[in-house]
Amino acid sequence: MRSTMNYRHLGRSGVKVSPLCLGTMNFGPHTTEPDSFAIMDKALEVGINFFDTADVYGWKRGEGYTEQIVGKWFAQGGTRRERVIVATKVFGDMDLPDKPDPNMARGLSAAKIIRACENSLRRLQTDRIDLYQMHHVDRACPFDEIWQAFETLVAQGKVIYAGSSNFAGWDIATANQTALRRSFLGLVSEQSIYNLENRMIELEVVPACRHYGLGIIPWSPLAGGLLGGALTKQAQGRRSNEKFQERVNAKRKKLEAFEGLCKEIGESPANVALAWLLHNPVVTAPIIGPRTMDQLTSMLKVPEITLSTETMSRIDAIWPGPGGEAPKAYAW
């Protein structure tokens, strides 16, 4: 099956990825290995070539359980690995509970990055990581040390591109200015929490990414299910828990207005929330994290959805951002 997916560059890099990124965080804890394989097969079949994971996913400390599932899927062959741009992450605790190791605990030392990369390569059953992302900033570690490790991995062919996740705007600037001084490419992407309910990154992260040519990869694009039709699905699955119900009740008026608008234009709330993100030129691909095949297939039309100027304005009125970019958002 030949894909008609409208691929886009990952930030300022030359590599092209699908406008939806398949998140794998549910693989293992909520989705069985066979179902995970089926979802990855379907994603690749329809043209999604961008998969995101992390060494800590699977939530079995030190085991990289989700990476192992992705690796077993790659090992089936059939050009699976060749056709996928795989992204994983480094930073979190990866020492074993019965064998504490301070150099494999949270952090980004050169020693940690090199070891963590080797471990991820083994679990993923591959010879390279296309996008190796720092899962969080480590302000106790200088970027000269971090880039030294990345330069080594790039020279060895084990890492192709570097990305960040959960960085502030000034972290992105510091990282890329340091990389520039070292004649290194630096960051090409930033993975941030970004959705209609949480637009804080529009203050400084979005303009920093635009300035340095980073593609934004939004995580939690549906705000943990809040933007996925919460009013009509609130009694289903994980949405039925008390904490989620409290979130729904706190945002009920906004949700009523948003879901009403979505019904009016004939699109599901989840797809509108994802399409809204793709209308931002700095966004490369929001991360979708399906637990089931139905959840995956329901989102496949998102790249084809065009929201009118009027619809975008109405969405902004329901879910206002921080007022623009810094400092204009808060200063004269």
Strand runs labelled E in 137-247: 159-165, 187-191, 215-216
Query: Which residue among the candidates 57, 65, 161, 194 is catalytic per the annotation?
Result: 57
Tell me how far apart the alpha carbons of residues 49 and 51 are, in angstroms, rounded to a whole number.
7
Strand runs labelled E in the chain: 8-9, 16-17, 21-23, 50-52, 85-90, 129-134, 159-165, 187-191, 215-216, 287-288
Consecutive H or E run containing 179: helix 169-181
Tell me how far apart the alpha carbons of residues 193 and 224 are, in angstroms, rounded to a whole number.
11
- DSSP secondary structure letters along 126-140: -S-EEEEEESS--TT
Contact between 225 and 231 (Cβ < 8 Å): no
- DSSP secondary structure letters along 150-178: HHHHHHTTSEEEEEEES--HHHHHHHHHH
Residue type, 267: E
Is 57 annotated in the active site? yes
Who contacts 83 (Cβ-Cβ below 8 Å, separation ≥6)? Answer: 44, 49
- Residue 32: count of CB within 10 angstroms of its CB: 11
Closest CA to 119 of 165, 67, 159, 164: 67
Contact between 127 and 121 (Cβ < 8 Å): yes
Tell me how far apart the alpha carbons of residues 148 and 326 are, in angstroms, rounded to a whole number.
32
Cα distances (angstroms) measured from residue 179 to each of 142, 144, 147, 176? 12, 8, 7, 5
Catalytic residues: 57
